[in-house]
Amino acid sequence: MKIDDLVTGFDQGLKTLTGSYTPERQNPSADTADAELDTEERKHAAGLMRVNHCGEICAQALYEGQALTARDEATRSHLKSAAEEERDHLAWCRERLRELDAAPSVLDPLFYAASYALGAVTGLAGDRISMGFVEATEDQVVQHLDRHLDSLPEEDRKSREILEQMREDEERHGAEALASGGEEFPPPVKSFMRLVSAVMTATTYRI
């Protein structure tokens, strides 16, 4: 581990938390007209998108932490590549929050720090465990996005199109992690991860 890696990681963290990334891909909802949502629908959609934005904050931190302690250059490259695509998700969620007149969660820095530490520890456990953790995480995210797609106001096509593209990307990331040698986690571990995710969801939906 080099000092340069730590400095780069700190810089990436600042960019992640301040929303200074420009997406590489066009926002999936860019050509979709915004619907007229009532106050409760708009509030609910904003809460869901706030949760998804925080989830992408955590994803950036996990990937950066894992890449920091990865042993193999191919694993590090895979993590960096996935993180770059996830930055599109982060930018899209942040843009949708602005359109809904809502702000990101004030807890984002706390979740970023915790996720970065978890990613670094996971990376130290070895590349097979680290890539398995990616698959397990993406599996949870896909289930989480399915619930949000079911819960969104039917008229909110803009949020729906963003989440559908995110779901497609996350599912692919999980499959690629296993294909690259990741060790699939047993169901009890995934169940525990689901409980941890539920804490993040419950808190960031409102604040």
> Among 105, 89, 90, 108, which Cα is nearest to 46's?
105
Residue 9's pLDDT band, with cuts at 50, 70 and 90, is low
At residue 194, the pLDDT reads 87
Give the CA dihedral 193, 107, 3, 88, nearest 10 degrees. 80
Name the more confident of 8 and 60.
60
pTM above 0.85, yes or no: yes
Which residues, in sequence order, are CB contacts of 33 under 8 Å at separation 6+? none
Q: What is the mean pLDDT of residues 19-24?
A: 83
Amino acid at 16: T
**Please, what are the domains in the chain?**
37-204 (1.20.1260.10)
Residue 6's pLDDT band, with cuts at 50, 70 and 90, is low
Residue 20's pLDDT band, with cuts at 50, 70 and 90, is confident
Name the more confident of 33 and 82.
33
**∠ Cα 146 77 51 (to 5°):** 30
Structure tokens, 34: 């915004």
Full DSSP string of 25-87: S--TTTTSPPP---HHHHHHHHHHHHHHHHHHHHHHHHHHHHHHH-SSHHHHHHHHHHHHHHH
Q: CB neighbours (10 Å) of residue 116?
A: 24
CA gap 146, 140 in Å, rounded = 10
Inform me whether the pLDDT recorded for 166 exceeds 80: yes
Residue 190's pLDDT band, with cuts at 50, 70 and 90, is confident
Inform me whether the pLDDT recorded for 97 exceeds 90: yes
Q: CB neighbours (10 Å) of residue 93?
A: 26
> Among 78, 80, 81, 92, which Cα is nearest to 21's?
92
Residue owning tokens 């993590």? 79
Three-class SS string for 89-151?
Answer: HHHHHHHHHHHCCCCCCCCHHHHHHHHHHHHHHHHHCCHHHHHHHHHHHHHHHHHHHHHHHHH
34-53: burial string, b at 16+ Cβ within 10 Å, e else: eeebeeebbebbbbbbbbbb
Residue 115's pLDDT band, with cuts at 50, 70 and 90, is very high
